[in-house]
Amino acid sequence: MQERRGAKYRTDAEGRQQSARLAAGKRSAASRAAGKDAPPPPPRARMPAPLLRWDEVPGDFVECFILSGYRRLHGTAPECLASVFQATNETLNFWTHFIPLLLFASRFGRLLFLAGELPCHHPALLPLWCYASGVLLTFAMSCAAHVFSCLSLRLRTAFFYLDYASISYYGFGSTVAYYHYLLPRLSLLDASVMTPYLQGLGWRVDYGRLLALYRALVLPLAFLLAVACTFACCKSRAEDCPYPFAVRTFVFAMPLSMACPVAIESWLFDLRGRDPTLFLHFHRRYFWLLVAAFFNVSKLPERIQPGLFDIVGHSHQLFHVFTFLSIHDQMCYVEDGLDQFLKSPPTAPTFAGTLGFMLLLIFCLGMVVRKFLSRASLYKGE
pLDDT exceeds 50 at position 358: yes
- Residue 149 CB contacts under 8 Å (≥ 6 apart), including other chains: 61, 90, 155, 156, 159, 160
- Confidence band for 262, pLDDT divided at 50, 70 and 90: very high
Strand partners, 52: 70
Report whether pLDDT(2) > 60.
no
Q: Where are the beta strands (DSSP E) in the chain?
A: none
Spatial separation of the C-alpha atoms in residues 134 and 359, rounded to whole Å = 12
DSSP 110: I
Residues pairing with 70 in the sheet: 52
Q: Which residue type occupies 325? A: L
Residue 330 CB neighbour total at 10 angstroms: 23
> How large is the average pLDDT for residues 295-302?
93
**What pLDDT is recorded for position 46?**
56
pLDDT at 24 over 80: no
- Report how far residue 340's alpha carbon sits from residue 332's, in angstroms, rounded to the nearest whole number: 13
Q: With bands split at pLDDT 50, 70 and 90, how would you rate the model's confidence at 258? A: confident
How much is the pTM? 0.83
Quick one: average pLDDT of 254-262? 81
- Please give the residue that has the higher pLDDT: either 112 or 43: 112
- Which residue type does 354 have? T
* 70: three-class secondary structure by DSSP: strand
Which run of H or of E encompasses 357? helix 355-373
Helix (H, G, I), strand (E, B) or coil at 199: helix
> Cβ distance 95 to 311 under 8 Å?
no
Q: Which one is predicted more confidently, 108 or 192? A: 108
- What's the pLDDT score for residue 378? 46
The DSSP line for 132-183 is: HHHHHHHHHHHHHHHHSTTS-HHHHHHHHHHHHHHHHHHHHHHHHHIIIIIG
Instruction: Give residues with Cβ within 8 angstroms of 323, minimum separation 6.
Output: 288, 289, 292
pLDDT-above-90 percentage for the chain: 58
Q: Give the pLDDT confidence of 68-98 residue by residue, as tens digits.
A: 999 999 989 999 999 999 999 999 999 999 9
> Cβ–Cβ contacts within 10 Å for residue 25, how many?
10
Q: How many CA within 13 A on the CB side of residue 205?
A: 13
Is the pLDDT at 30 greater than 60, yes or no? no
Q: What are phi and psi of 217, to 5 degrees?
A: -105, -15
Domain ranges of the chain: 90-376
Helices (H) and strands (E) in the chain, counts: 13, 0
- Over residues 24-42, the mean pLDDT reads 47
Asked if pLDDT for residue 299 goes beyond 70, the answer is yes
What's the pLDDT tens digit per position in 115-137?
667 888 899 999 999 999 999 99
Alpha helices for 239-314 (secondary structure H): 244-253, 260-268, 271-274, 276-298
Q: pLDDT tens, 301-313? A: 999 999 999 999 9
